[in-house]
Chain A
């Protein structure tokens, strides 16, 4: 290549007519003439089509003739034509970077058509700017990069499969990345493909199989592209291979796991027309032929349970009537299914996702049902666990925390002794909670089972100090002695006779001791102890009022308990607080209260009550029961341990270890009055710590990590019709008076199953473990983790497809409300032999074979209301295909297609149209305006105007099929960012040129194919996949690829090493090396952000140098000659 003399700029300017595209608006000759007046311009010309071979030849010839060393072409956009002109000047030995392009078509003639004079002026102006820049252009050498001869194909639909196979056959190793567990994409879910109505899976299946067998193709299913780094020729990809929880190497697709799985979820592969199990294979022909476990996180109920009860699992197993396994799952956590089934505050239900549809699942009543059912069928036999470990553990306090801890430790093989000061075990469960809520035999039975496992209970044995236990040889100690001192009201008159404290009152009563109550009783407080005391007093015949300082919403007591108390005739005065207890001769005679209002929320999140001045009132009462909380007794075992400011034992929040090593504490003694389930949770955590302590392991390693909740968009709420919570049968109010019979009677089997069925299985797999037992190949591992696969490839092909629109949000034509209105994707499953109806066309409302079917076209397509004003491309042919299938199977079915237009634009598509017409399919020109359902028959009346006859139609059909739009994948913008692609206004990927570069993106080395570019049929997707493969091969075959040398350069003499450039660079290209700032060419992508940031102007960009841009800025801002209208 002979370099031209670069010292003096000799600029040639060519202005293009582009036929009339430019010349129709811009006076091309005037622009050329103006250019000829500019400094350093030695030649000007105007050409009809500059990019034609004649035009290019003219440029080549003139360059030599006139000694031109800078070339300007004023024509169209450089985004498409710059490479053509650069090649041309290179052919005559001029460096390709000595070229400048002026866009007077897209930026002038086409957008200023009505302003011809101004358009011409603007074109002149833009040429001036280009001339100003051209003087400063300099020759640059292209960089070459070595191309890694490997490809990654993202998306395993028919386009991606086609691309991968062609590349593999050409000898390029290809990694095919598919996010679903199988390849095949949308096509694999179709029944037939038009126009010849071939069986879709029959023709695709063998191709899918050949992908798996191909030696050059690495199949990565159930995988997502996470990160992309590098550049054309050398991309580094990180692919997350999701666990699936089944070893693909061991699984042989036998399917033994699916029948035992209790979790049924909506089957996305049936478009919601059927259910599948949480362990599943999408369809029988899936490639690879392995099962996958669908886990979407940890269900909200499990996360909410302090005792980590797997609520979803036991509820799901109840649906499946596997009551034994359900109870076993509950007992994996704690021994109190029946007790907690009565007294738990059910934090699980508060978080239950079902509440977003109607009401939470009655989870508590369901485990109570399991326990009741077992008791009724005879007491369970528990066999003693003989201790496998030597170190003995002492537990002080046989309340819920202590027993839960003992239960877990005995199962781990430790010899455990529980010391209980009272006569009976159970703590608050025994002495605090009245019998009508928790019958004693239930509690005794459940504690009895723990004893049967081998835990030694020493009742009536108070422990005075921790050191006593150590002396006895216990190696670890858990303190769970509760909070037994009642809190005081701190008002005048509190010491009067007749003032009782809830815990003392309940304790005396529950111990069978005599308690005297007057006629009128006031209970102060809003917790469960207050409600319990009130209901006991009511049963003793008193008239009871509860005084609570906040409102009903803030009441911490169990809601159903509050409601039952009110049913029993107990009055509740909300927003009221006692200020004085009135006395008469040392005995309670009345109570003075003040009205409250609610202020801002306090530390507990509840709104703080504030007294209303001068609102005091008095009431006559005989007894006051104070139920405002308890505190820890500072004497006994607690002594000597570090306490909190509230007088509770201070413990580590994760390990529950106290200030003394080997001594742990949990339950109310550490928290103050809390719930039974919180206490059980603490006992369980302490058991983990004690086990680690005795094994001399780290106590906190890996603990305290919050489980991952289910992402909201993965919870499938559709298909769950509102169903009210199953009511709990209760004892009649009349029978409750003077009786301590249990009020809540429990669910029977029918009720329990009905209630369990309300569970939405939000986490999909419930981790019951039944599949593990069923798998004979030992392939299932619920602990299996995701794998990150690193790929190094030279090119990437994106073929991620699109998705069929389901008009649930818009309720188009009553979809989602009217059962007999379905989408064409769903209809496809109805005709499919592998579908939910085994290929028989049945309408959803009654399973009957419809005798008339209407297809409504363009639902969501060509519809500006949804910003989807494009055609779905295949809806017409697809409906014609489905119509002919109906006619083939059931010739007497009436079939009508309502369409604005029928577009049959492919090979053989018009013949399909003809065939459908011959078979008697009626085509009505007109869009349906409205549908109406017959309430009795569920038939659908379609209202439409026949545009040919002008007649208003109102015809009734048994079923309606909506030919719905195609939508881009919702995560296209994210994918575009990863691969530096661009999306269009709908969210599809943009190709480099819609006509000439249909499978290239704007990013070198990244190609696009298939329906991720917009709606298309199978034939086009296949062709594009193959085209992308060919393009990728063309890029890789030479082994090298030229890239533009647009890099940042640093003038180290001028640099002050402030490192601002390093701060702003997205790629980490600038860095300080041996005291000098350098910019790594490998990292630099050429954006120029660093150059703009440098306070010393020490950084410059090749081809976008400041001295090349500034003259252009100057020319753009003051073109005086034109501005003055000369």
Chain B
């Protein structure tokens, strides 16, 4: 590799809270690492565990699932399901041969740009310490 390790994080956001929070971080010019690639869905409840597994399978170094705070969900209870699925995925991480810290859940409202930026910064640091995903190595650096 010509550069030092830059973690790659796939970040699922909902349309209403966390995507808005990410927008606000930008509007407020809050600076944070470039690691996260956002996939916008309508609700964090749309995040199928298979999507998370697919991301890791393809070599993502980390996955973040982000939605509205519990109780503030645009779809009233969608994010309760997110929480349940996150907990299930968390316990499945080791089976996949991955450190559980490579998966993170972040509740951020549309008014919490700083919280979004802090969440990405912290996760980037964590994943940096863990190094590249062992699955990414298996892919042999991957091929498009």
Contact = CB atoms under 8 A, between A and B. Distances in A.
B38 interface: yes
A1085 interface: yes
A198 interface: no
A1118 B58 contact: yes
A1050 to B, nearest CB: 15
B142 A111 contact: no
Interface string B16-33: 110110110111011111
B143 A980 contact: no
B8 interface: yes
Contact of A106 (B6, B22, B45): B22
Contact of B48 (A126, A1106, A1114, A1121): A1106
B143 A1123 contact: no
B51 interface: yes
A1117 B8 contact: yes
A1088 B111 contact: no
Given A1118-B59, A1119-B8, A110 B29 contact: yes
A1113 B55 contact: yes
B139 interface: yes
A1113 B54 contact: yes
Interface in A996-1049: 1002, 1046
A129 B38 CA distance: 10
Interface in A1058-1112: 1064, 1066-1067, 1085-1089, 1091-1093, 1097, 1101, 1104, 1106, 1109-1110, 1112
A107 interface: yes
Given A1114-B58, A1118-B142, A1125 B3 contact: yes
B31 A1087 contact: no
Contact of A1124 (B10, B32, B74, B141): B141
- Assign chain B's interface to a size class: 35 or more
A1085 B75 contact: yes
A1104 B46 contact: yes
B42 to A, nearest CB: 5
A122 interface: yes
A69 interface: no
Interface in A116-130: 118-119, 121-122, 125-126, 129
A103 B38 contact: yes
- Assign chain A's interface to a size class: 35 or more
B31 A1123 contact: no
A253 interface: no
Contacts of A113: 29, 31
B2 A1117 contact: no
Contact of A1066 (B50, B78, B139): B78
Contacts of A973: 72
Nearest to A1002: B16
Given A1092-B85, A1116-B37, A985 B111 contact: yes
B46 A111 contact: no
B60 interface: yes
A77 B26 CA distance: 10
B144 to A, nearest CB: 5
A884 interface: no
Contact of A122 (B37, B41, B54): B37
Interface in A864-889: none
Contacts of B96: none
A502 to B, nearest CB: 57
B55 to A, nearest CB: 4
A107 B24 CA distance: 9
A982 B20 contact: yes
B40 interface: yes
B126 interface: no
Interface of A: 77-79, 103, 105-115, 118-119, 121-122, 125-126, 129, 973, 976-977, 980, 982-985, 990, 1002, 1046, 1064, 1066-1067, 1085-1089, 1091-1093, 1097, 1101, 1104, 1106, 1109-1110, 1112-1114, 1116-1121, 1123-1125
Given A103-B38, A1002-B16, A1118-B60, 13 more contacts: A103-B23, A106-B25, A111-B30, A111-B117, A129-B39, A976-B72, A1066-B76, A1092-B45, A1101-B42, A1118-B59, A1119-B8, A1120-B143, A1121-B144
20 contacts: A79-B23, A103-B23, A112-B31, A112-B34, A973-B72, A977-B76, A982-B20, A983-B111, A1064-B45, A1086-B42, A1087-B74, A1088-B41, A1088-B46, A1092-B81, A1101-B42, A1113-B55, A1117-B54, A1118-B60, A1118-B142, A1120-B141
Closest 5 CB pairs of A and B: A1088-B46, A106-B26, A1089-B45, A1117-B60, A1087-B43
